[in-house]
Amino acid sequence: MSSAHSVLHDVFGYEHFRGPQEAIVQHVIGGGDALVLMPTGGGKSLCYQVPAIVRHDTGQGVAIVVSPLIALMHDQVGALHEAGVRAAFLNSTLDWQETLDVERRLSRGEITLLYAAPERVTTERFLDLLDGLHQRGQLSLFAIDEAHCVSQWGHDFRPEYRALSVLHERYASVPRIALTATADALTRADIVERLQLQEARQFVSSFDRPNIRYRIEEKKEPLTQLLRFIEREHPEDAGVVYCQSRKRVEELAAALVDAGLKSLPYHAGLPPEVRQQNQDRFLREEGIVMVATIAFGMGIDKPDVRFVAHVDMPKNIEGYYQETGRAGRDGLAADAWMAYGLQDVVNQRRMIDESPAAEDFKAVMRGKLDALLALSEATDCRRVRLLAYFGEASEPCGNCDNCLNPPAVWDGTDAARKLLSAIYRVHEASGLTFGTGHIMDIVRGKDTDKVRQFGHDKLSTFGLGAAYSEAQLRGVLRQLLAIGAVGLHKVAMDNGHSFDTLCLTEGSRPVLRGERPVQLREATAHAA
Ligand code: ADP
Ligand code: ZN
């Protein structure tokens, strides 16, 4: 009879469990359900592999591991084979004969761990197989990896995960362990509900990645800023630069090559063979900078990625955390660097507004975007904010930009009120709404054709904020958008295009009345 420790030692060659692994393993071996939140690299796999082996060796049959990532399945099954464990997978890469073969071995009880894609697990054919095993008491465990995929609030929703609730309904006595490296409170609650894990014990590890230094700066000239960051701090290092669009990926990758860096593009629009080739080079060669959309990264385990840069703001903190988490898996110092700007906020807001989703869904997405913007605009420790978002209290880290160089704070309340009254006045005067540039021109009292054309130099707010720089006003507007004190209103133009204009919202009122202060980073406020 094998105990957890001897499996850890004899099969995996490790001396000790790490962090909460032991508690999780014992709980699952004992037949309990578990929800495990552990950062990338924390050692989630052993949390179900060890119980699977122990339960199999005590006559309880096979463990089914649900995983969405084919590449990861192959790696893990390969590693288990090397360790002498009878593991197999079922996914779309197998032909009919191979599938039959795995199914046969499964019903004969010859497999300890079976990895399968979620859409496979919930087919009638597969459930029939599980029924047979279950009746003979040969179904030992369900492990659901990347469990956040079940939630539409998560950052990688996969509808086929929804059907996994059938596992509990059909095989209530079989223990289940769900695992994820990224889930805020809302996503977590959704996982519990969707997978019916109300009775499961939750094991929440610290999400802190102390070796990652978080830095967020305002976007002025993104290419120059990025080059300065890489050339000064990571001239020879491997890193990933995330962009929002495929077009930007290609432009930026080319620009980095022009600047003498070994840079490659990666996005879902490239031919599969090019993607594969670029990914292989990133993994094998030294010092490649991969410029990519979020299509890049899942399941790619390169320990010595020294930096992750975002030249555009991601959608939410979960995405940001997942992407930055790909830096420094080897535990050595690494940088997470981001540049963000007003246009990012406008773009992300628009994507949410224009999506066909239900209104309550959009409200949640806006809330998540605001949380990321609040992190970006924060004047206190980034890590404290980041961990707080995942429900973890901590002390200032001493290793983020704000801890190392505390930014001075600038009170933008007055500027905010002036911007809001300009937005109000132009609408009151003409029933029209205008874009950010024009509103700022009015507040600063600039004499432009457009200002004259609409007679906006006659408004009482014209020139009231002449003392503010454009950068200051831009910073204030970004905050106002973030906190929902300014809304976006789309205006169609004759040429078929449309552009975003600014309007007041319910949230404008407390700011206009001076009840809600608007604080900015001084560096942001006074930047050219
Ligand atoms: P995750 O899935 O949480 O990202 P993995 O399960 O891939 O993490 O584990 C990350 C790395 O840590 C792997 O190389 C694994 O072999 C190693 N590891 C996990 N648990 C232990 C342990 N108890 N002792 C030593 N190494 C471990
Ligand atoms: Zn800090």
Instruction: Please report the DSSP string for 5-61 in residue order.
Output: HHHHHHTT--SS--TTHHHHHHHHHTT--EEEE--TTS-HHHHHHHHHHHHHHTT--
Q: Whose CA is nearest to atom 17 of ligand 1?
A: 43
Q: Are 487 and 504 in contact (CB under 8 A)?
A: yes
Kindly report each contact of residues 350-357 with a partner whose C-beta sits within 8 Å and lies 24 or more positions away, as own/partner.
350/488, 350/490, 350/500, 353/488, 353/490
Q: What's the rounded Cα separation, in Å, for the pair 151 and 147? A: 8
* pLDDT exceeds 90 at position 493: no
> Minimum mean pLDDT among 131-135, 207-211, 398-402: which range?
207-211
E-assigned strands of 31-134? Answer: 34-37, 62-66, 87-90, 113-116
Q: What's the rounded Cα separation, in Å, for the pair 181 and 155? A: 11
Helices marked H in 431-507 — which ranges? 436-444, 449-453, 470-482
Which helix (H) or strand (E) element contains residue 523?
A: helix 522-526
Nearest to 437 by CA among 501, 358, 519, 370: 501
Neighbouring C-beta atoms of residue 9, cutoff 10 Å: 13
Task: Give distance in angstroms: CA of 424 to centre of ligand 2.
Answer: 39
Q: Which has more confidence, 290 or 388?
A: 290
- 428-452 confidence digits (pLDDT tens): 988 899 999 999 999 999 999 999 9
Q: What's the rounded Cα separation, in Å, for the pair 212 and 210? A: 5
Q: What's the rounded Cα separation, in Å, for the pair 325 and 328? A: 8
Task: Give distance in angstroms: CA of 404 to centre of ligand 2.
Answer: 7
Atom of ligand 1 nearest to the CA of 181: 3
Atom of ligand 1 nearest to the CA of 17: 23
The conformation of residue 265, written as its DSSP 8-state character, comes to: E
Atom of ligand 1 nearest to the CA of 41: 4
Instruction: Please report the DSSP string for 220-238 in residue order.
Output: SSHHHHHHHHHHHH-TT--
What confidence category does residue 523 fall into, taking pLDDT thresholds of 50, 70 and 90? low
What pLDDT shows up at residue 328? 93
Q: Whose CA is nearest to atom 24 of ligand 1?
A: 14
- 155-208 confidence digits (pLDDT tens): 788 999 999 999 999 999 999 999 998 888 888 999 999 999 999 999 998 889
- 354-375 confidence digits (pLDDT tens): 888 888 888 888 888 988 988 9
Average pLDDT, the chain: 92
Helices marked H in 195-300 — which ranges? 222-233, 246-258, 272-284
- 62-119 confidence digits (pLDDT tens): 999 999 888 889 889 999 999 999 999 999 899 999 999 999 999 999 999 999 999 9
> Minimum mean pLDDT among 17-31, 183-197, 313-327, 487-501: which range?
487-501
Task: Give distance in angstroms: CA of 396 to centre of ligand 2.
Answer: 5
Task: Give distance in angstroms: CA of 328 to centre of ligand 1.
Answer: 14
Tokens (6 digits) for 392: 């973890």
What pLDDT shows up at residue 320? 95
> Which of 8, 11, 17, 18 most suits a substitution to test ligand 1, by most atoms within 8 Å of the C-beta?
18
For ligand 1, residues with CB inside 6 Å are: 14, 16-18, 21, 38, 40-46
Instruction: Give whole-number Cα distances, 261 to 186, 224, 233, 286, 308, in Å.
Output: 40, 14, 13, 12, 15
Q: pTM score, two decimals?
A: 0.75
**Nearest ligand, measured from the Cα of 18:** 1
Helices marked H in 334-407 — which ranges? 342-354, 359-377, 382-389, 401-404
Task: Give distance in angstroms: CA of 17 to centre of ligand 1.
Answer: 10
**Nearest ligand, measured from the Cα of 406:** 2
Atom of ligand 1 nearest to the CA of 47: 6
